[in-house]
Amino acid sequence: MLSADGSADPSRCTASHAEDGHLEPSCGFDYAEIDRNVFRVDPQDHVAALSDEEIDAACYVITRVIEWLWQDGMKNCDGLQNRAVVLCWVFLSQLRTLTMTEMAAGFGKKKQSLGRAVDDFKRSFPKIRIAHMKD
């Protein structure tokens, strides 16, 4: 979606491969705007319907994920970056189709370093898995 000033909405951007293979952002079609304007359905209505307990549970999970991401971020920026790549891989559907090798190459990381972060993620969050994560 283009805003009034002509700039792309960054919340609608996804990772795509450029001609030389590196990852770069690209913006997709704003289906949510069609839902709002044509069908009069607000995709955010489901958030308003959450109970206080559900919101508390979501905040707890988000806090645990962010604590795992941060760890010793002030002392180890490479580890922080590797963990951020792993979280993007796990939680962003547009990246889940990529292999760990492709993720490492796309973000300029070593596959071994991402592998260590993936192993740590699996230990920390045993119930959260994507297809590329073998037990």
Write down the pTM of the prediction. Answer: 0.64
Residue 11 pLDDT grade (very low, low, confident, very high; cuts 50, 70, 90):
low
* 64 — pLDDT class (breaks 50, 70, 90): very high
67-93 per-position pLDDT tens digit = 999 998 788 899 999 999 999 999 998
**Could you tell me the residue ranges of all domains in the chain?**
1-49, 51-135
Per-residue tokens: 112:
């071994």
Number of neighbouring beta carbons within 10 Å of residue 104: 19
Nearest to 23 by CA among 89, 92, 106, 105: 106
Encoded tokens for 64: 């645990």
